[in-house]
Structure 1
Amino acid sequence: MAVSSTKSFEIKATPEQVMAAIAAVDRLPDWSSTHKKVVIESTYPDGRPHRVRMTVSVIGLTDEQVVDYTWDGDRSMSWTLVESTQQNQQDGAYTLTPSGGATTVDFSLTIDPKIPLPGFLVRRAEKTAIETAGKGLTKFVEENFR
């Protein structure tokens, strides 16, 4: 059963600063407690990550994932799951919009676990991801990219 969520939040930084933080994929474990290990396997000519292998642990499940990233300048970044030990599908995106002296971040995530899980566990994992995207990324940007 695929589950989708969205969240909008504001970060007191420019879109360029926020995207620089998002592009620092190798530092995901610094601000996302679910990300245990991140290895960038390939990059685009501009140096931004293309294919990334990661170990993620949430709600007691550990997942080995490979995702492909797509970038649209400092406007948006999206990713698609290529392979996973625990998921059939995962698609996510960050879309950035200037908002005065800040940036509005729209985050979306769709996940579809391989094994049947009780709905409350799927919702808990989803909530963890959404909260991490908001609070973790905001703190990471404000402490490292402003």
Structure 2
Amino acid sequence: MAEHTERSIVINADPDDIMAVIADFEHYPEWVSAAREVQVTEYGAGNRPSEVRFVLDAGVLQDTYVLSYEWEADGRAVSWRLVSSDLQRDQRGRYVLAQQVPGSTKVTYELMVDLLVPMIGQLKRRAEKAITEAALNDLKKRVEG
């Protein structure tokens, strides 16, 4: 992935439980504050979502976009790329899960977003950092809560 933001957090759960929450897109509006609507539009191998449509409302930023997902066979990583969007030129991301000890997993989130509207690199990185931090904290609350 080109220049991207990377953040990690330790979640008190096993990788399979965390990946189950990540893959449960229909329930994102319950715990992802900006997600107004999330719909799986295609399924791939192992009945995993392969294409997902999002309606995002983050106050000043509102977007409808579609992401294509690839799930690692070992269940420890998932990556995505942008298919279409109203505001984004590109988006690539990845979750990587590494079990520390039983019941404890390090989750790393990598994200690169390129908007159609030009944005100064420093502001872009700051926005990516805020997005990844919020996503990891929300994921931790959802899995552990």
- Per the normalisation by structure 2, the TM-score is 0.89
What's the CA shift string for 1:38-61, capped at 9, x where partnerless? 011011242211111111123511
Write the mapping of 1:52-71 to structure 2, written as runs, cut at 5 A: 52-58=52-58, 60-71=60-71
Mapped pair 1:136 → 2:138:
yes
Write the mapping of 1:85-124 to structure 2, written as runs, cut at 5 A: 85-101=86-102, 102-117=104-119, 122-124=124-126
CA separation in 1, counterparts of 2:101 and 2:122? 38
Counterparts in 2 of 1:54 and 1:92: CA distance versus 1, 3 Å:
same
Q: How many residues align?
A: 142
Contact 1:44 1:50 in 2 (8 A): yes
* 26-35 or 80-89: bigger deviation: 26-35
Match of 1:48 in 2: 48
Counterparts in 2 of 1:135 and 1:26: CA distance versus 1, 3 Å:
same
Contact 2:5 2:125 in 1 (8 A): no
- For residue 116 of structure 1, give the secondary structure of its aligned residue in structure 2: coil
CA separation in 2, counterparts of 1:5 and 1:91? 11
Q: In the TM superposition, what is the alpha-carbon distance from 1:9 to its structure 2 partner?
A: 0.8
What's the CA shift string for 1:5-32, capped at 9, x where partnerless? 1001100000011111111011122221
CA separation in 1, counterparts of 2:66 and 2:83? 5
CA separation in 1, counterparts of 2:106 and 2:5? 17
Percent of aligned pairs with the same amino acid? 36
- Per the normalisation by structure 1, the TM-score is 0.88
* 103-112 or 36-45: bigger deviation: 36-45
What's the CA shift string for 1:91-113, capped at 9, x where partnerless? 01000011013001111000001
CA separation in 1, counterparts of 2:57 and 2:127? 10
Q: AA paired with 1:62? A: Q
- For residue 96 of structure 1, give the secondary structure of its aligned residue in structure 2: strand
Match of 1:127 in 2: 129
Q: AA paired with 1:69? A: Y
Question: What stretches of structure 2 of length at least 5 have no aligned partner?
Answer: none
